[in-house]
Chains A and B, each alone.
Chain A
Amino acid sequence: MHRRTLAQLADDLRSRRCSSYELTTHFLARIERHDPSMNAFVTVTADHALADARAADERRSRGDAGPLDGLPLAHKDIFCTEGVKTSCGSRMLDNFLSPYDATLVARLKDAGTVMLGKTNMDEFAMGSSSESSFYGPVRNPWDLERVPGGSSGGSAAAVAAGLVPAATGTDTGGSIRQPAALCGLTGLKPTYGRVSRYGMIAFASSLDQAGVLTWTAEDAALLLQVMAGFDPRDSTCLEEPVPDYRAGLNASIRGLRIGVPAGFFDAGLEEGNRGAVETALGVLESQGAELVGIELDNLDLSVPVYYVVAPAEASSNLSRFDGVRFGHRTEHAEDLLNLYTRTRGEGFGAEVKRRILTGAYVLSAGYYDAYYLKAQQVRQLISQSFSRAFESVDVIAGPTTPTPAFMLGQKTNDPVAMYLNDIYTIGANLAGLPALSIPCGAVGGLPVGLQLIGPHLAEGVLLNVAHRFQAETDWHQRRPPDFDAENA
């Protein structure tokens, strides 16, 4: 069962080859057996899941099951889930039971999906390796000594190891696409505002976007169909119709113009990754797509711009964690200032503190113009570079990451090296564009990702290209060997 895609499992349920209860039991057993070796879950909600699975089976027997009814999945622990711990990977929220469901969680619940648990992540989604979690690092099922990427590393590891057929994630600077690339998965970050942010604990509000980690583009299309759409509770959510994503998957890509930015193939890109990505571009070309060399001006500034804008917003977003109303509160407060400083000193980890300090600094009087304002101006320029590029190409393609999964601990003491992991992914966040990563090769047994970036609201085009690629290749069918046995 764990080797099947979400779409295949949906067929299995429809044709009664299995029940949701059987599926749920199977995956829960796999979590129990394998998760200790990779630490992908913060919380497993077995009892709830079994009850939900039975309810889904009942709906099916009554004949009123929706297309996703009874399918198990996991949510990144950044999404608020009613009555279930929502930690955001932080000691600060270790005791936080959310009183409500995020819009995305509610929509997937209404569609009948069965939540198996909440996945581990970098603390407050700040990281590219899932090592900054209060609950300890997540390990990559392809090599347990390596990181799964981050911040949605728990979701990526869980899906890659077959502990759950799909999982949600969030992507602020690459947090879905980079772990998807490092774990051999399809990871979709939709257009900013395509999926509601309500109930998703904010890291950098102008960049955050929810998406999914799945085996295939088809699975991503199935889930996006339910997640996307206007939400009156999020002012930045787009009031645009949601197309039928699955219907467009098989369209021909003949004549499709694929822009290949020279800047994506710089010195930082490892040879193995370069080779895999170039081969993948060749596959698309052989299907009739046209490769067009392009320049994206100012893209080299995207990492510094990101590390001004994101911490600035984070420093403000994380102010609500003050020990007054919810979450961690120090036991050693002598006065109000003490309550704040100790609560936050104890509750936040090092990377979160680093970003809050950076963010407070760039917003300070006297530095605002030089940092925050300048960064916003450059962000505009980067956005315009993409807009210009999309006047002559339909999608942009390149590597998702410069290297395959790196070793645990390798970059934890060098924040800048860690930040450079996101060099290819950050641009799409700054410009609010949809982007996805699909497995396109391997280096030394480790997966490599191909990134596709599309214009505003072009999720359908990206999924179409990815699906056509997956029809010609089998990278998306490869599983980490240690977790692949049918009866494991």
Chain B
Amino acid sequence: MNWETVIGLEIHTQLATRSKIFSASATRYGAEPNTQANLVDLGFPGVLPVLNGEVVNMAIKFGLATQCEISPRSIFARKNYFYPDLPKGYQISQYELPIVHGGQLEIVLSDGSAKTVRITRAHLEEDAGKSLHEDFHGQTGIDLNRAGTPLLEIVSEPDMRSPGEAVAYMRRIHTLVRYLGISDGNMQEGSFRCDANVSVRKLGSEALGTRTELKNLNSFRFVERAIEVEVERQIDLIEDGGQVIQETRLYDPDRNETRAMRSKEEANDYRYFPDPDLLPIVIDQARIGHIAAGLPELPDAKRKRFIADYELSAYDADVLTASREQAEFYEAVVTGLGGQPKLAANWVMGELSAALNREDLDITASRVSATQLAELLQRIDDKTISGKIAKQVFDALWNDGGEVEAIIEARGLRQISDAGAIEALVDEILEAHPRQVEEYRSGKEKVFGFFVGQVMKQSEGKANPQSVNEILKIKLKS
């Protein structure tokens, strides 16, 4: 039987504010436990939340970038449940009236085709703290540094039909929130994580199957693998005559399987109600207009512009616009170079990207600047050095710093294009290898490569390969 997979994602994005959503505590990651939790975060008697207005601006940015409707009036609600890392016994979230809703986002699939994923809503909420079960000898430690960190929960419609589509969508959102500057998207630190709602149905069926929710997936790879194994599990279950139970499951990456979370007897009733401590969020058109005017160029627009202006392939444009920083770096190289966008793309995606990956650096921390790279590529373009030599210069820049020009001079890497000099080199090589010359002239044209290699070797790679070719051909004919 043929099955269709149906996936919807709930992505939790930590908003990049300096202070928490309802208190003045810092949100910096990695501080000593409970050093970034004030009385409001600790839920002390008598304290009250006060909304950090910056999160509203960030949510509006997201809404604008995904063609969502921005609610002129939205409210906070309390989600009530007991847990030690939830200090107030309720989480302040949005329930009935989220700040933005009803948008969409275009994703590009692996075959290059595009697909639209509808966004149901995105709402503001506070994060909980962390329970630490290790190191406390059977007790649980509570770190409330994270309690009250602002989150934007982005909920999609169940529009994705494969794990690959789910990942493509998640990546798009990831790229987008970083473009907008509303989240650092750091997945190791938990700034970007998602829950996946997964179900299967017979191909052609309209009705949705029973879904399970896979909680807290914090890498693209885990999202893909978790959904894959969950889909397999559901199909096997149904084909064996069983039924999928609506439940929350956890993905175990070590065993590559999903497991039902140990849940208490009852279904949770969160007793949502409007939070009486907070006023409704009221947003007028002027505020939306002001924010819209300040939006950066979005990934989609940038990708299309790269294809049009720089004549890049869809693939190259996609890779280069994956982050705003990378796209900016690339454009700075092209500007410095004064053209040659394909050459710049090859280098940014090739040599530079490899070097960054080797040292696990972000492009903003690149040891070769866009200006330096542009200078280097210019030297290739004006035939001062060959591409191969340029890699040497790049390595020198990367490892020891310095000026492109100075490195070329100091190391004597300047390309030899002078016909006379190359002729001398060619003569020298032909004279030294009379047997090979004989072979070539008797029809074994394959030895031509041997001569090129020898000349290049003799010139320490500096001879202009094109000139070498031309001169060799002439000399061998004569």
Interface centre among B42, B80, B89, B269 (most CB of A within 10 A): B89
Cβ contacts under 8 Å, B279 to chain A: 235-236
Q: Report whether B46 and A98 are in contact in the complex, using a CB–CB cutoff of 8 Å.
A: yes
Do B278 and A325 touch across chains, with their CB atoms under 8 A apart? no
Q: Which of B45, B46, B50 has the most CB of A within 10 A?
A: B45
| Most A-side CB within 10 Å, residue of B47, B87, B89, B271 | B271
Q: Counting CB contacts under 8 A, is B190 at the interface?
A: no
Chain A residues positioned under 8 Å from B462 (CB to CB): none
Q: A324-B84, A365-B269 are in contact. Are A236 and B50 (CB under 8 A)?
A: no
Question: A182-190, A200-208, A268-276, A388-396: which one contacts chain B?
Answer: A200-208
Whether A198 contacts B277 in the complex (CB less than 8 A), given A319-B88, A322-B89, A360-B271, comes out as no
Task: Across the interface, name the chain A residue whose C-beta is closest to B40.
Answer: A233
B90 at the interface (CB under 8 A from A): yes
Q: Is B49 an interface residue (CB 8 A)?
A: yes
| Complex Cα spacing A315 to B269, Å | 14
- How distant is the Cα of A360 from the Cα of B50 in the complex, in angstroms? 25
The answer on a CB contact under 8 Å between B80 and A319 is yes
- What residues on A are CB-neighbors of B47 within 8 Å? 198-199
| Choice from B46, B50, B51, B82 contacting A102 with Cβ under 8 Å | B46
Residues of B within 8 A of A93 (CB): 45
> Does B48 touch A at the CB level, under 8 Å?
yes
Closest CB in chain B relative to A23 CB, distance in Å:
29
* Residues in A neighbouring B277, C-beta threshold 8 A: 202, 205, 235-236
Residues of B within 8 A of A102 (CB): 46
Known: A236-B279, A326-B44. A364 touches B39 (CB 8 A): no
Partner of B42, one of A205, A322, A325: A325
Chain A residues lying within 8 Å of B407, measured Cβ to Cβ, are: none
> Could you tell me the distance between the alpha carbons of A234 and B46 in the complex, rounded to whole angstroms?
10
The answer to whether A205 touches B276 (Cβ under 8 A) is yes
A265: Cβ under 8 A from any B Cβ:
no
Contact of A197 among B48, B78, B273, B278 (CB under 8 A): B48
Q: Is B43 an interface residue (CB 8 A)?
A: yes
Number of interface residues of A (CB under 8 A): 45
Interface residue? A336 (CB, 8 A): yes
- Shortest distance from the beta carbon of B416 to any chain A beta carbon, whole Å: 73
Query: Within 8 Å CB of A198, what residues of B?
Result: 46-48
User: Which listed residue (A313, A319, A326, A336) contacts B276, Cβ 8 A?
Assistant: A313
Residue of A nearest to B269 (CB): A365
Check B314 for interface membership: any CB of A closer than 8 A: no
Q: How far is the CA of A363 from the CA of B81 in the complex (A)?
A: 13
Contact, CB under 8 Å: B50 / A316: no
Q: Which residues of the other chain, B, contact A88 by a CB distance below 8 angstroms?
A: 45
8 A Cβ contacts from A71-88 to B: 79-80, 86, 88
In the assembled complex, the Cα of A325 lies from the Cα of B269 at a distance in Å of 24
In the complex, which residues of chain B have a beta carbon less than 8 angstroms from the beta carbon of A364? Answer: 269, 271
Minimum Cβ distance to chain B for residue A311 (Å):
12
Number of B residues near A (Cβ < 8 Å) is 28
Q: A406 on the interface (CB 8 Å rule)?
A: no
Contacts A88-B45, A325-B87, A326-B44 given; indicate if A232 touches B80 (C-beta within 8 A).
Answer: no
Q: Which residue of B lies closest to A323 (CB)?
A: B84
- The contact of A336 among B49, B84, B90, by CB within 8 Å, is B84
In the complex the two chains form, is B44's CB within 8 Å of A99's CB? yes
CB contact between B273 and one of A200, A202, A312, A319 (< 8 Å): that residue: A312
Contact A201 B45 (CB under 8 A): yes
B429 CB-CB contact with A under 8 Å: no
Residues of A within 8 A of B84 (CB): 322, 324, 336
Q: Which residues of B contact A312 (CB under 8 A)?
A: 273
Q: Which residues of A contact B88 (CB under 8 A)?
A: 319-320
- For B42, the closest partner residue in chain A by CB is A325
Q: B48: which A residues are within 8 A, CB to CB?
A: 197-198, 233-235
Q: Are A200 and B46 in contact (CB under 8 A)?
A: yes
Asked if B283 lies at the interface with its beta carbon under 8 angstroms from chain A, I say no
A interface majority secondary structure: loop
- Once bound together, how far apart are the Cα atoms of A335 and B78, in whole Å? 26
Q: In the complex, are the beta carbons of A319 and B45 less than 8 A apart?
A: no
Segment 261-313 of B: residues with Cβ below 8 Å from A: 269, 271-273, 276-279
B interface footprint on A114-130 (CB within 8 Å = 1, 0 otherwise)? 00000000000000000
- CB neighbors of A among B12-71 (8 A): 39, 42-51
* B89 touches which of A235, A320, A327, A368 (Cβ 8 Å): A320
A232 touches B50 (CB 8 A): yes
Question: In chain A between 99 and 149, which residues have their CB closer than 8 angstroms to a CB of chain B?
Answer: 99-100, 102
Bound Cα distance from A240 to B41, whole angstroms: 28
> CB < 8 Å: which of B45, B89, B142, B276 contacts A206?
B276
Q: Which B residues lie within 8 Å of A340 (CB)?
A: 82
Report which residue of A98, A363, A368 has the largest number of chain B beta carbons within 10 angstroms of its beta carbon.
Answer: A363
Complex: how many Å from CA A296 to CA B385? 92
Cβ of A230 within 8 Å of any chain B Cβ, yes or no, is no
How far does the alpha carbon of A322 sit from the alpha carbon of B39 in the complex, in Å? 16
On chain B, the residues within 8 Å of A319 by CB distance are 80, 82, 88-90
Say whether A233 contacts B273, CB under 8 Å.
Answer: no
A372 at the interface (CB under 8 A from B): yes
Closest A residue, CB atoms, query B270: A365
Residues of A within 8 A of B278 (CB): 235-236
For A315, list chain B residues within 8 Å (CB): 80, 271
Q: How far apart sit A276 and B113, CA to CA, in the bound complex (Å)?
A: 84
Across the two chains, which residue of chain B brings its CB closest to A199? Answer: B46
Q: A232-B50, A325-B87, A364-B269 are in contact. Are A320 and B276 (CB under 8 A)?
A: no
Residue contact B273 to A316, C-beta cutoff 8 Å: yes
User: Quick check: B45 and A233 within 8 Å, CB to CB?
Assistant: no
**B39 neighbours in A (Cβ, 8 Å):** 99-100
Pick the residue among B44, B82, B269 that contacts A322 (CB under 8 A).
B82
A364 vs B266: C-alpha distance when bound (angstroms): 13
Write the nearest CB–CB distance from B73 to chain A, whole angstroms: 15
B46 touches A316 (CB 8 A): no
Q: Taking the nearest CB of chain B, how far is it from the CB of A390, in angstroms?
A: 23
Q: Is the CB of A363 within 8 A of B44?
A: no
How far, in angstroms, from A392 to B444 measured CA to CA in the complex?
Answer: 114
Cα separation A198 to B89 with both chains bound (whole Å): 19
CB atoms of B271 and A363 under 8 A apart: yes
CA–CA, A163 and B211, complex, Å:
66
Is the CB of A419 closer than 8 A to any CB of chain B? no
Within 8 A of A (CB), among B75-124: 78, 80, 82, 84, 87-90
CB-CB nearest in chain B for A336:
B84
Q: Can you name the residue of chain B whose Cβ is closest to the Cβ of A326?
A: B44
CB distance from A200 to the nearest CB of B (A): 6
**Nearest CB to that of B49 among chain A residues?**
A235
- Asked if A96 CB lies within 8 Å of chain B CBs, one says yes
Do B45 and A326 touch (CB < 8 A)? yes
Q: How far is the CA of A93 from the CA of B46 in the complex (A)?
A: 12
Most A CB contacts (10 A, CB to CB) among B46, B82, B89 go to B46
A322 cross-chain contacts in B, Cβ below 8 A: 82, 84, 89
A435 to chain B, nearest CB (A): 20
A151 to chain B, nearest CB (A): 16
Residues of B within 8 A of A232 (CB): 50
Q: B323-341: which have CB < 8 Å to A?
A: none
Least Cβ–Cβ distance between B141 and chain A, in angstroms: 12
Distance in angstroms from B93 CB to nearest chain A CB is: 13
11 CB < 8 A contacts A-B: A79-B46, A80-B45, A99-B39, A234-B48, A313-B273, A315-B271, A319-B80, A319-B88, A320-B87, A325-B43, A365-B269
B interface, CB within 8 angstroms of A: 39, 42-51, 78, 80, 82, 84, 87-90, 142, 269, 271-273, 276-279
Question: Which residues of A line the B interface, CB within 8 A?
Answer: 79-80, 86, 88, 93, 96, 98-100, 102, 197-202, 204-206, 232-236, 312-313, 315-316, 318-322, 324-327, 336, 340, 360, 363-365, 368, 372
Given A235-B50, A321-B45, 9 additional A-B pairs, CB 8 A: A100-B44, A205-B276, A234-B50, A235-B48, A319-B80, A319-B88, A319-B90, A325-B87, A365-B269
Which 6 A/B pairs are nearest by Cβ-Cβ distance? A319-B89, A206-B276, A363-B271, A205-B276, A199-B46, A320-B43
